[in-house]
Amino acid sequence: MTPIEAEKIIEKFHQAIKDLRPNAIVQSSKELPYTSARIKYAHFVYAEHFIKDGFYVEAKTKGTKEEMLKSFEKKYQELMESYGLIDSLFSEDPEPINAKYEEYLEGLKNGIITDFRLPNLFGECEPVNEFHNFIGECWFLEHYADLFTDNALGAFIYDGIRNKATIEKDIKSIIEIANTSLTRAVNYPGKKNNAESVFI
């Protein structure tokens, strides 16, 4: 797989994402344009290329080192979130998850918090961490320095806030979390911001 092919696969994956809320939270893996394994592999191929070659191309288009690093971090965030969303927003068997999601929303409307675990909209922590480590390794092998950012934290912060609100039965925070935009850095057709995605 070439980096250009990998980039196209990732773009097609993003085009397959749909915000089905409030009727559903996850999509069938059958809606993916390729197998989840091929999409994940494309993320690794493209990320390694971006660090080895794309980073330097990007550097030439920016005026300062800070602008270049900011631009790189934006792309890095998108790729990391995108990789984590493969397991977060798609499932081989979405119906039971979506049924529990509907019950969860109905409970929230009535002030009840069930034990349903909302998918992490920053990407599930384990795959995000895996991809972050891969990026860090690629960066080190190319630049012989630690990765300049530790921003895999978004997924973990979201997870922590969601878990804390659930334990504390903080209905207001849980409703805010349930109404959060479907993705942060990844764009897809019809993407809504937080203000547009309120449905509870």
**DSSP letters spanning 87-119:** HHHEESSHHHHHHHHHHHHHHHHTT---S--PP
Assigned domain for 24 exists: yes
Neighbours of 72 (CB within 10 A): 20
Q: Does residue 102 have a pLDDT over 70?
A: yes
Name the pTM for this structure.
0.84
Can you tell me the mean pLDDT for 143-169? 73
**CA 125 to CA 155: how far, in whole Å?**
6
Per the structure, the count of domains in the chain is 1
Assigned domain for 198 exists: no
Q: Whole domain around residue 108: which residue ranges?
A: 3-178
Assigned domain for 8 exists: yes
Question: Higher model confidence: residue 69 or residue 196?
Answer: 196
Q: Does residue 3 have a pLDDT over 90?
A: yes
Q: Does residue 186 have a pLDDT over 90?
A: no
Q: Residue 43 in 3-state DSSP? A: helix
Assigned domain for 158 exists: yes
Mean pLDDT of the residues in the chain: 86
Assigned domain for 101 exists: yes
Q: Does residue 48 have a pLDDT over 70?
A: yes
Assigned domain for 199 exists: no
Assigned domain for 19 exists: yes
Least confident window among 4-13, 50-59, 106-115: 50-59
Assigned domain for 188 exists: no
In DSSP terms, 27 is beta-bridged to: 90
With cut-offs at 50, 70 and 90, classify the pLDDT of residue 73: confident
